[in-house]
Amino acid sequence: MKTLKEMLAEARQVVPEQGPAEVKKRIDAGEPLALIDVRDPDEYRDGFIEPATNISRGFLEFRIGGAAADPTTPIVLYCQSGLRSMLAAKVLKDLGYQNVTNLQGGFQKWAQSGLPVAKDRPMNTEQIQRYSRHFLLPQVGEKGQRKLLRSKVLLIGAGGLGSPTALYLAAAGVGTLGLMDGDVVDVSNLQRQILHTTANVGRSKVESGTEMIRALNPDVNVIPLPTRITVDNVMDIIRDYDLVIDGSDNFDTRYLMNDACYLAGKTNVHGSIFQFEGMATVLAPNQGPCYRCLYPTPPPPGLVPS
């Protein structure tokens, strides 16, 4: 009869292990790996590692196909302390998966190392109804909606570009929206800045916008930032967000946001308009160009209106 110790030793011979820091590096580098949490659903719900799928140990052989399309897909398994997942990883190797790694020390070691953990609150009935159109999209589904609810997006500017962006992100259920703008609502804004209303003329755009967003979707946690972004506050502010949307209205800010996002590794969704023309691109650090690659120098003052 084999002992548990022997089974684990056997598994260790064919399953490599990596510590939390190494696995985090692989995830951050964008490696297309399948991260699987083999604990029970209630353990997963209490806290898990992004972007893990929960396939509990008992269902592993039956559901792994959905998470890992072919035998060469890199897979990383974890459980609470690294033992259940070690045995699970051996099973996957026996099934023919070639690239299976066990997270050494499991979720416990990950959390103790101070690495980020995610926690989902189950969606209530109203949310299920509200986002039902997302659930119908195979590319989104419930998992995608949870991801949106966990996401944090920073909007620089609550004006012409920030307005529709704020409204659509809020409607979609982006869980945290930072709204940054130092201006007040002017009646001339209302021709296009649909985040604001006539009743709010004279009020801070951030106050007005926050109210509108909360009325549209109370799930959204709005972080009001009723001030201009400056070289002194930018790095602290962008730090906590997953994505930055630059809808600012002057070149100084554009270049500041570009530099700050690049230095902080934040993706900057960049949009701009002039009269009947609009432009959009995504400035992703080291994946594509930055604003300075496109426009090394700003136009002479007065040539292009802000």
Partner 1 sequence: MLLGIGEPLIGRLLTYDALGMRFREVKLRRDPKCPLCGEHPTITDLAIHRSGDAAACEVSGNGHAASAPAPAGTLGAKAGG
Under rule CB under 8 A, residue 139 binds partner 1 = yes
Q: For residues 87 and 178, what is the distance between their CA atoms, to the nearest angstrom? A: 43
Under rule CB under 8 A, residue 170 binds partner 1 = no
Please identify, among the stretches 2-10, 37-45, 63-71, 159-167, the one whose residues bind partner 1 according to the rule CB under 8 A: 159-167
Helix, strand or coil, per DSSP, at residue 48: strand
Helical segments of the chain, H only = 4-14, 20-28, 41-45, 60-67, 84-95, 106-112, 125-130, 132-135, 141-150, 162-172, 205-216, 234-238, 251-264, 291-294
Q: Which is nearer to partner 1, 68 or 91 (CB)?
A: 68
Least Cβ distance, residue 204 to partner 1 (angstroms) = 17
Q: Total residues at the site for partner 1 (CB under 8 A)?
A: 66
Q: Which is nearer to partner 1, 89 or 169 (CB)?
A: 169
- Per-residue x/- mask for partner 1, residues 19 to 48, rule CB under 8 A? ------------------------------
Cα 53 to Cα 75, 111, 127, 183, 274, distances in angstroms: 11, 17, 21, 43, 44
Contact 15, 87 (CB under 8 A): no
Is the peptide bond preceding residue 51 cis, with omega within 30 degrees of 0?
yes
Under rule CB under 8 A, residue 118 binds partner 1 = no
Least Cβ distance, residue 197 to partner 1 (angstroms) = 20
Nearest to 71 by CA among 22, 18, 34: 34
Least Cβ distance, residue 52 to partner 1 (angstroms) = 14
Q: Strands 277-283 and 267-274: what pairing?
A: antiparallel
Least Cβ distance, residue 2 to partner 1 (angstroms) = 41
Binding residues among 245-304 for partner 1 as defined by CB under 8 A = 246-252, 254-256, 258-260, 262-263, 267, 269, 271-274, 276-290, 292-299, 301, 304
Nearest to 171 by CA among 132, 127, 216, 141: 216
Biggest CA-to-CA distance, the chain: 85
Binding residues among 209-248 for partner 1 as defined by CB under 8 A = 231, 234-235, 242-243, 246-248
Residues within the interface to partner 1 (CB under 8 A): 139-140, 144, 147-148, 151, 153, 157, 159-162, 174, 231, 234-235, 242-243, 246-252, 254-256, 258-260, 262-263, 267, 269, 271-274, 276-290, 292-299, 301, 304-306
